[in-house]
Chain A
Amino acid sequence: MSKRKILMSVATMCMLSTAAMAQGPKAGGVVNAVIQPEPPGLMMGLVQNGPTQMIAGNIYEGLLRYSPKLDPLPGLAESWSVSEDGKVYTFKLVKGVTWHDGKPFTSADVLFSIDFLKQTHARARGNLVQLDKVEAPDESTVVFTLKQPFGPFIGIFEVGSLPMIPKHLYEGTDFKTNPANNTPIGTGPFMFKEWQKGSFIRLVKNPNYHVKGKPNLDEIYWHVIPDAAARSVAYETGKVDVLPGGSVENFDVPRLSKLKNTCVTGAGWEFFSPHSWLWLNNRSGPTANKKFRQALMFAIDRNMAKDVVWNGLGKVATGPSGSTIRYYTGAMPKYDYDPAKAKALLKEAGYKGEKVRMLPLPYGETWQRWAEMVRQNLQDVGINVDMVATDVPGWNQKVSEWDYDIAFTYLYQYGDPALGVGRNYVSSQIAKGSPFNNVEGYSNPEIDKLFADGAVAFPDAAREEIYAKAQKILVEDVPVAWMLELQFPTITRCNVKNLITTGIGVNDGFRDAWIEK
């Protein structure tokens, strides 16, 4: 309780100080940030894991950026329009943009990037599945024509999902072995300068950036510090100013947030909206019974997990969609913490104390503690839980081979139910070998049809209706046990301003950031 109060008061203090000293951004300065773990590469078209996106999102750019409400903002495209039938998207590119090596950025680069990413970027390939053709009538216009209306299309142009790749460096080469991969060239506000492996990555200001007066910072250092405790210490000693979400253990957040000149925010994850849940094996064992699955939802004290394990950050998940995802509806059956109801449902389900195997997510202490808490919740209502310890490869294998009863996970949702929600519930996504698809084995023709229709329905009101229906059915059936909408707190010195202004937060945030002296 007191912890949350302190967090809040720190946040208010930070807001007050901003208001009191409201003044324009100042140019200059160096920011030291932590990157965890060290990325395997920075060529965003080839590598898309978290740390790569976090750094390279400031080197590369997409056609659009997204507000925290996921409304499209101008990026490399200054304006865009959608035809009335929802099939033709026309983008006007910003004029006079150059790559970091001085070559001009044109519509030809956009066409090339689409081709490039279709070969290298699995998620982009999926996002572009409805694309019929893409044309460039002139140097600064790109026209996308779809096979049928695809509502989420406007949401696929974020830098990590569809980064622009320089045609003049990659055309006709073997993308994977191109030497340019080591010195990434983008159009973004910062240019790659230096990478001391195991130590730091250094970006410097792009003096020819296409937005006048930006960026404000001269340099960014991303420090590689492999140990979580050492990252906290690095912040305390002043070596780094920015701890992006997930770089320190949750238990350290309250302590760090009490330090002088320290601001903590959970913002900047709206686009990814990491959603956590328990996979429940719908095929066999007690979890195959819907009543048993509903009992789980009543048995688990998710508010307590939020307050204790996640230090009050995040939100209790109400269903398959996070509350920042388009067409989210809260008008659904609620599962509040109610052990008595859980026990009654277990009785109805005819549960006789069979052993239920639970796999925690092997991502560190926070997740381990969380699993222990849930196990206790379940044992309290009489479920015989056997926790199985695994490492990351073991977890991946067990989950993707369906060898579990209950398994913790969290996945990104990418703003639209057609991009990041449906994949976990439609029966066409039941396939061994991936821990990211319909792992629970839930199969419901009605849901299949709703998600299929929802992806291509037009206009938005039609989609809204379809997804509301789908959410309602899923929440009733509990194919998986939704836990929390996670927030990974970003910890910064309060004088680092405007770092998080978009729905992807730090990933493209340094463009607007500045340091108050």
Chain B
Amino acid sequence: MKQASRVLLRNPGGMIGITILVIAVAVALFGPLLFPTSPWRMVQRPFLPPFTLSGFPLGTDALGRDVMAGIIYGARVSLLVGLISTLASLAVGIPLGAAAGYFGGKVDDALMRFTEFFQTVPSFALAIVLVAIMQPSIVSIVAAIAIVSWPPVARLVRGEVLSLRTREYVQAAVVTGQTNWWIIWREILPNALSPVIVLASLMVATAILLESSLSFLGLGDPNLMSWGYMVGAGRTVIRQAWWITVFPGIAILVSVLALNLIGEGLNDALNPRLAKGGR
């Protein structure tokens, strides 16, 4: 693991990604201390262009709300949604995939058919339907994103487990009489984790995009300022006031890019074959 992190730190793309992510996390954590007023508060005249008043570097939106404050508070929502929904989908996908891969046979069939059921439905359409049914709120959005994004995790874990369970050290564990779940937990999963970590970093990026898309369509939590909401709300006035959409758009772009770079870097670092080839 130590070696892996060294490889990651030497990877320029990964480094850039990590730097951006650290900044984003810092903004999400400490930004509200610098901007204590609510991002919904109307603080200046509407449609104030960026870089005209020192207190409002990114200008104001159609109601005179500070775009900068919106982006800072939006970072919270985006990162939180990305993280929690990814954890939730891992919590569903890993056990299902592990069970399917380890037990095989009918269990595998049943679980994989169930997984395919979710995979055949276009994930964004399903997310829209779920949020619309459950009513837009932060909980329903996280749930919807988790529900549409666990199947790839399950499939990945299943594949890994499938190949690991025939290894000798696993068979040795079976012979020593350890329980199935203990074997999965102690022997197999730790070795299956590398690709899952890579996938998870990309899933956070996808989740941020999904949340933004939902908010853009007006299915965001109406009580939380998010980047997707800002883009969606500014869309109608984009010809008068480009900055209302452009800055949150850049925020989405940069954070998703950062997560992808990290994912690539992790892939290089954690994949032994690639890592060796790189050296």
Using CB atoms, name the residue of chain B closest to A304: B42
Of A228, A360, A372, the contact of B236 (CB 8 Å cutoff): A228
Main secondary structure of the interface of A (DSSP, over half): helix
Indicate whether B22 reaches chain A with its CB closer than 8 angstroms.
no
Tell me the bound Cα distance from A394 to B131 in angstroms.
13
Indicate whether A390 reaches chain B with its CB closer than 8 angstroms.
yes
Stretch at the interface among A12-20, A116-124, A247-255, A264-272: A247-255
Tell me the bound Cα distance from A376 to B37 in angstroms.
11
Interface centre among A369, A371, A372, by most B CB within 10 Å? A372
Indicate whether B240 reaches chain A with its CB closer than 8 angstroms.
yes
Indicate whether B46 reaches chain A with its CB closer than 8 angstroms.
yes
Indicate whether A388 reaches chain B with its CB closer than 8 angstroms.
yes
Interface string of A242-264 (1 = CB under 8 A from B): 00000001011011000000000
Contact assessment for A376 and B41 in the assembled complex, using a CB-CB cutoff below 8 Å: yes
Indicate whether B218 reaches chain A with its CB closer than 8 angstroms.
yes
Given contacts A255-B240, A387-B223, A388-B222, contact A376 B233 (CB under 8 A): no
Indicate whether A373 reaches chain B with its CB closer than 8 angstroms.
yes
Q: A residues within 8 A CB of B42?
A: 304, 308, 373, 376
Contact assessment for A389 and B62 in the assembled complex, using a CB-CB cutoff below 8 Å: no
Indicate whether A498 reaches chain B with its CB closer than 8 angstroms.
no
Of B40, B46, B218, B237, the contact of A389 (CB 8 Å cutoff): B218
Indicate whether A391 reaches chain B with its CB closer than 8 angstroms.
yes
Q: B residues within 8 A CB of A368?
A: 218, 233
Tell me the bound Cα distance from A394 to B222 in angstroms.
15
Given contacts A368-B218, A368-B233, contact A379 B136 (CB under 8 A): no
Contact assessment for B222 and A308 in the assembled complex, using a CB-CB cutoff below 8 Å: no
Q: In residues 365-380 of chain A, which contact B (Cβ within 8 Å)? A: 365, 368-369, 371-373, 375-376, 379-380
Q: B residues within 8 A CB of A369?
A: 62-63, 233
Indicate whether A386 reaches chain B with its CB closer than 8 angstroms.
yes
Indicate whether B180 reaches chain A with its CB closer than 8 angstroms.
no
Of A254, A309, A376, the contact of B38 (CB 8 Å cutoff): A376
Using CB atoms, name the residue of chain A closest to B132: A391
Q: A residues within 8 A CB of B161?
A: none
Indicate whether A229 reaches chain B with its CB closer than 8 angstroms.
yes
Of A249, A360, A391, the contact of B222 (CB 8 Å cutoff): A360
Return B142 CB to nearest CB of chain A, in Å. 15
Of A373, A390, A391, the contact of B63 (CB 8 Å cutoff): A373
Q: B residues within 8 A CB of A309?
A: 63
Return B254 CB to nearest CB of chain A, in Å. 26
Return B46 CB to nearest CB of chain A, in Å. 5
Tell me the bound Cα distance from A368 to B222 in angstroms.
9
Tell me the bound Cα distance from A379 to B39 in angstroms.
12
Q: A residues within 8 A CB of B41?
A: 376, 380
Indicate whether B239 reaches chain A with its CB closer than 8 angstroms.
yes
Interface centre among B233, B236, B240, by most A CB within 10 Å? B236
Of A228, A376, A394, the contact of B40 (CB 8 Å cutoff): A376
Return A300 CB to nearest CB of chain B, in Å. 13
Interface string of B227-239 (1 = CB under 8 A from A): 0000001001101
Indicate whether B18 reaches chain A with its CB closer than 8 angstroms.
no
Contact assessment for B240 and A249 in the assembled complex, using a CB-CB cutoff below 8 Å: no
Contact assessment for B62 and A251 in the assembled complex, using a CB-CB cutoff below 8 Å: yes
Contact assessment for B223 and A386 in the assembled complex, using a CB-CB cutoff below 8 Å: yes
Return A303 CB to nearest CB of chain B, in Å. 13
Using CB atoms, name the residue of chain B closest to A366: B236
Contact assessment for B237 and A251 in the assembled complex, using a CB-CB cutoff below 8 Å: yes
Q: B residues within 8 A CB of A394?
A: 135
Indicate whether B219 reaches chain A with its CB closer than 8 angstroms.
yes
Q: A residues within 8 A CB of B220?
A: 389
Interface size on A, residues (CB 8 A): 28
Return B226 CB to nearest CB of chain A, in Å. 13
Interface string of A479-510 (1 = CB under 8 A from B): 00000000000000000000000000000000
Using CB atoms, name the residue of chain A closest to B238: A229
Q: B residues within 8 A CB of A252?
A: 236-237
Q: B residues within 8 A CB of A360?
A: 222
Tell me the bound Cα distance from A255 to B241 in angstroms.
11
Using CB atoms, name the residue of chain B closest to A360: B222
Interface string of A385-423 (1 = CB under 8 A from B): 011111100100000000000000000000000000000
Interface string of A298-326 (1 = CB under 8 A from B): 00000010001100000000000000000
Contact assessment for B135 and A372 in the assembled complex, using a CB-CB cutoff below 8 Å: no
Q: B residues within 8 A CB of A365?
A: 233, 236
Contact assessment for A229 and B236 in the assembled complex, using a CB-CB cutoff below 8 Å: yes
Q: In residues 101-137 of chain B, which contact A (Cβ within 8 Å)? A: 132, 135-137
Tell me the bound Cα distance from A391 to B223 in angstroms.
16
Contact assessment for A390 and B135 in the assembled complex, using a CB-CB cutoff below 8 Å: yes
Using CB atoms, name the residue of chain B closest to A380: B41
Interface string of B28-50 (1 = CB under 8 A from A): 00000000001011100010000
Indicate whether B249 reaches chain A with its CB closer than 8 angstroms.
no
Tell me the bound Cα distance from A369 to B229 in angstroms.
12
Tell me the bound Cα distance from A368 to B220 in angstroms.
12
Contact assessment for B63 and A308 in the assembled complex, using a CB-CB cutoff below 8 Å: yes
Q: A residues within 8 A CB of B221?
A: 389
Contact assessment for A251 and B236 in the assembled complex, using a CB-CB cutoff below 8 Å: yes
Tell me the bound Cα distance from A228 to B236 in angstroms.
9
Of A251, A304, A371, A379, the contact of B240 (CB 8 Å cutoff): A251
Using CB atoms, name the residue of chain B closest to A252: B236
Using CB atoms, name the residue of chain B closest to A305: B63
Q: A residues within 8 A CB of B137?
A: 389
Contact assessment for A389 and B136 in the assembled complex, using a CB-CB cutoff below 8 Å: yes
Indicate whether B95 reaches chain A with its CB closer than 8 angstroms.
no
Return A237 CB to nearest CB of chain B, in Å. 14
Indicate whether B64 reaches chain A with its CB closer than 8 angstroms.
yes
Tell me the bound Cα distance from A446 to B219 in angstroms.
44
Contact assessment for A389 and B222 in the assembled complex, using a CB-CB cutoff below 8 Å: yes
Return A144 CB to nearest CB of chain B, in Å. 48
Contact assessment for B63 and A389 in the assembled complex, using a CB-CB cutoff below 8 Å: no
Return B250 CB to nearest CB of chain A, in Å. 22
Tell me the bound Cα distance from A252 to B41 in angstroms.
23
Interface string of A275-306 (1 = CB under 8 A from B): 00000000000000000000000000000100
Given contacts A309-B63, A372-B63, A376-B40, contact A389 B135 (CB under 8 A): yes
Tell me the bound Cα distance from A371 to B128 in angstroms.
23
Tell me the bound Cα distance from A251 to B135 in angstroms.
27
Tell me the bound Cα distance from A100 to B222 in angstroms.
52
Q: B residues within 8 A CB of A371?
A: 222
Q: A residues within 8 A CB of B218?
A: 368, 389
Pick 13 A–B contacts, CB within 8 A, sort by A. A252-B237, A365-B233, A365-B236, A368-B233, A369-B62, A371-B222, A372-B40, A375-B40, A376-B42, A379-B40, A387-B223, A388-B222, A389-B137
11 further A-B pairs in the complex, CB-CB below 8 A; given A371-B222, A373-B63: A251-B62, A251-B240, A308-B63, A365-B236, A369-B233, A376-B38, A387-B222, A387-B223, A389-B137, A389-B219, A389-B222
Could you tell me which A residues sit within 8 Å of B by CB distance?
A: 228-229, 249, 251-252, 254-255, 304, 308-309, 360, 365, 368-369, 371-373, 375-376, 379-380, 386-391, 394
| Nearest 6 pairs of A and B residues by beta carbon | A387-B222, A389-B136, A389-B222, A251-B237, A365-B236, A249-B236
